[in-house]
Every structure is written in structure tokens, then in C-alpha cells.
Chain A
Amino acid sequence: MSAHAATAGLAEPEGEESRDHSKDGPAPVRIVVAYGFWIFLLSDIIMFSALFASYAVLSGQTAGGPAGRELFELRHVGIETLCLLFSSYTCGLGILSVERRNTRGFYVAFALTFVLGATFLGLEVSEFVGLVARGAGPSRSAFLSAFFSLVGLHGLHVSAGLLWLCFMVAQFAAKGPRDFVRRRLLCFSLFWHALDIIWVGLLTLVYLMGAR
């Protein structure tokens, strides 16, 4: 009898649980897709963390070459930071416009995002070209190798993001705000915001700490 009571006691919460599940149903596709993309972004951040670690270890190994103090121009870097931050903001506003069926707002916001992202990339390329011209290329010292691989990988991500942005605008123009287009736009915005988070770490570790 006690065994029977135990089974009954076990069975009841189980029954309740399964009822709850059937009531809620599976999570909406939008949430599952965002979760999967979030996992990808975290793995990307973990890859960056390895480069951050190698930069932190090698930042003092200048092999007699120039150190960060002599190379970094903070005014330049400040403009890059503002470009990326505002492009993150306009990207968010673009997603809001899509949700509110404001097509015009979406195009304006994403055009601004593209311009700001391209400005960031242009400033970074000009910084790299300047460094190489001064003989401070990636082969000069372990510090510069780590610097170019860390900052360069972030720049490559921004370039990929700009390509993706163009692709998404074209897709939106061709297919309109359908569910799958909006899900892809959401993933793009997550990617773009994550790049800004990585830039915050980069700005602090590489430029602000390195320029002191």
C-alpha cells in the first residue's frame, strides 16, 4: 500500500509537468534560432579570448622595436570607438523599425549602420597601413604579431558583418519582412552587437592600457 502511495505521489507531479509542456508547446522558432546563434557568438568570443590571452602575454615583448605607447593615437581610436558604438545603436533601431513595419526607417538605419561600420574599417585599415609604413608591421616583434592578429581578426569580423548587412538589405528588399528574413535580421543584429562588445575589451586592453 505504501508502494502504491509512493507511485501515486510520483505520478502526480509528472502528470502535471507533462500537462504544462503540452500547454506551452515548443518554444517559438525565433527564440530557438536566437539561442543557437547566441551559442555561435559565445564560441566566437571564446576564440577571441585565446587571442586576447596571447596579446596580454606578449604585449611587453617588443624585441627592441616600438611599443604601444609610441604607436597608438588615442584620438584616432576614439573616433573608431564612436563609429562602432553608434553603428550598434542604429542597427538596433533598424531592427525596431522592422518590428514596427517601418520599411523606410529600416533602410535609413541600416544605411547609417553601413556607413559607420565602413568608416570604422577605413580608419583601422589606414592605421594598419601607417604602422607597416613606419616599419612596425606584424613581423617586427611578438607584440606587433599579437596586435595585428587580434585587431585584424576583429576587423575581418567587421568586414564580414558589412557583407552580411548588404546581403540582408537586398534580401529584405526582394522578399519583404517575412518571418525568416526577420529572424536573419535578428541574428545579424546579435552579431553586430557582439562585435561591439569585443571592441570594448580590445579598446581597454590594447589601446587604453597600451598607450599609457
Chain B
Amino acid sequence: MSGWPTFLLERCKLAGSHRLDVARANGAYDVLAKLLKDGTPPAEVIAVVKESGLRGRGGAGFPTGLKWSFMPDPARDSRPRYLAVNADESEPGTCKDRVLMEQDPHGLLEGALIAAYAMRAEAAYVYVRGEYRTSYDRLQAAIDEARAAGLVGERILGSGFSCEIHMHKGAGAYICGEETGLMESLEGKRGHPRPKPPFPAGSGLWGSPTTVNNVESIFNVPFIVAHGAAWYRTMGSEKSPGNFLCGISGHVERPGVYEAPLGISARELLEDFAGGVWKGRALKAWIPGGSSTGLLPASLIDTPMDHDSLRDAGSMFGTGAMIVLDETACVVRASEILARFYDHESCGQCSQCREGTQWLHQIFARIERGQGMADDIDTIESLARGMAPAKTICALSDAAAIPALAVVRHFRAELEAHIEQGRCPLRSAGAVAAREGVPA
């Protein structure tokens, strides 16, 4: 199951990896120090990240270097410039950024400083979801240690480069992981996504040029700058280079966060890393990249885990977080849970999303309870088509519609059986009542 280079989780394996002494003894800040010593032009850093083909790991897969290049030329734009690190990891199934923040906070700080150097940002804000207390505390401690060592703040390592890094705590809203919702939230407001344009690079935090990057994206940067774009492209696929962190959860023997090259088959991840489906059961369905990516049937488990292959299979790479459902799982219950989530998390600005998420939740809930109506499947499809693609300010509406359409596409018979039999055919009524325990 190995045979490829790994780098993202290497330092995380060391005892005390979150401390500056351990991190520095194992390479942290070496790349930053060299850049500053050599006086490497910022444009060269952007060029190598662009050349590497690194795609954002927060879900959208947008090329990171290209995003950086949208920042205006500082010679012609005197506004302050900001980097926001998106650590609001909230996509159900996704738990990878947390590992990096808890175990290798200095790796993230070095990446953020290099990104800020490349884009000539004067400050970086790390927006951490409020529930991630350990991530927040470890990063804050790392910033304090790094500042004392001259690695954060004024004239870093005696160079002309200054950059502050500030921690910022969110308060539990999924929508703040959307980059413009994150900026609104960071400004102390309700996390309502902003219409685009303007894009963040033109007008972001406090009306200034801003780039928002996911934790894992930023974490890749020192490695790319150290070893070059050609090295990075030896891993992964042509259009999705590099390694990624795959969080595998659900019905597997060994759930966990694993490092693998993009393009690895989902079967290899499931069987070799996660030990296969648990309890010797058969695979029923799997969600490739977090709750917003449509579930796929067992027959597609050989699909390569990269952006293009999963798109061709009718789903998405998303955050690379695989959720596995065994043969006993009810896909209607799974759909109800995800629909409830999007109903809860819709910010309510756009009517398609506000109303659509609520109705999807209600309809999946009544089907699962055996109260589905004959035309409910048609209603789900028509609702979801009214919500996506790209009909709203942000992609939450799409994120709610996609899994709903996927379950109709791949498991229509199971939905129909629920409606026709007036109950969940996978469980007896008694088992459902016992399992519910609480009204769901």
C-alpha cells in the first residue's frame, strides 16, 4: 500500500511534533528561512506553486497558484493585503485539517508565512471553527513560540519581510467555510456569503485584496517551494498532482486520516488503508469527498480519487473525505441526515436554498418514516434541479441538491420500496423505534 513518497504527515508522527524545537529540528521554517536569505522574488514563489498544479483541498479544487496570481500588483494598489487560512473544517466526513493543526501547527504557520510572502500580505488570519479547541490552542501556542523566535511579526529572521498571524475563532456555522461567508464572519457579522464579483482578491476583508486558502492547501506550500513543481508532479495525476489527506469514516475496519497520491483508486484506500468494510460485510455505497459530493454505488469503487475521474463518475473529489456505507445501511436515512444538515446550515439569503433545503429535509424524513407519498421522488428531483447548478449566491444550495439527486439516481428502488411498503425495508418497526431513542 505504499511505494510512493509521503510528506504531509511525516512530522505529525514525531513525539512533541507541535512544539517549535521538535518541528525546527525536523525542517520546519527551513524553506522560509532560505527564501528570505536568498531574497527570492515573490513572483517566483507564485510561479512554482502555479506550475505544481496544486489544487485547493477545501472542496472546490481551484488551482492555488492561480488564485494567488489574482492578487493585484502592490506597485499599483496600496491597500493592505490579507491571507485568510480557512480552518473552518465543517464538511461532514472531513477531519483532516484538524490532524495538521493539532500535530504540526508550525508546518501550517510556515506555509502561511510563505503564502503571505508570495502575495505580500501584511497579516494572516487563521479562521478556526470554534469547536476545534485543541487546534486553536496548539496554533496559538505555536504562534507565540514562533514570534519569540523571530519567525512571526516584524522583520522575520532579520529580513525586510514582516507578517503577523492572528488566530480567529468561529462559532459553529458551516457556511463560514465558504470563503466569502468566512470573510463576513471574520468581520464580526452573520456569515452571509457575498455575491461575486467582486472576488476576494479584488475586494475581500475590509475591502482589501484577500486570498482565502484551506489549511491543507497552505500546508503543501513549503514542500512545493523546497522540492519544486516537477517533484510535486511526480505524485498524483496530471490534472490533480500531489498527495492528499483522505479521511475515511463510516463502516470500515480502520477509520482514519491517511496520505495518498491523488488518482489512487477508492478501492485501494478502502481495502488497504481502512482495512475494508467492517464486520466482513459487503459495500453498499460510498461518498467520495464529504457530504456535498454525491454518493456512489459499490460498483464504482475502482474509480480513481481525483477531480476529473470522480466528476466523470458523476460525483466530486470535494475534500477527499470518504464515507463508507455497508450493506445494512439505509441510504434514505443517510439522505435524511444530510438533508437535515443543509436545512440547518442554510444561511437563508437565497430562496431556492432556504426553502429547498427545508423541503428536502422534510421529504426524506417522511419517506424514511414510511409516510412518503407517491410523487415524492419526482418532487425531490424537481426541487433539487431548482436549487442547482449555480442558481444561488454560494454553493451550499448545490451541496444540498447534489446528494439528493445522487440517491435518486443510484438508489431509486430503495426510495420506492420505502414509499410502497410504508416503512424502512431495512429495519423492523421495533428496531427503528429502539434505535431512534430520540425523535429524529
B is bound to A: no
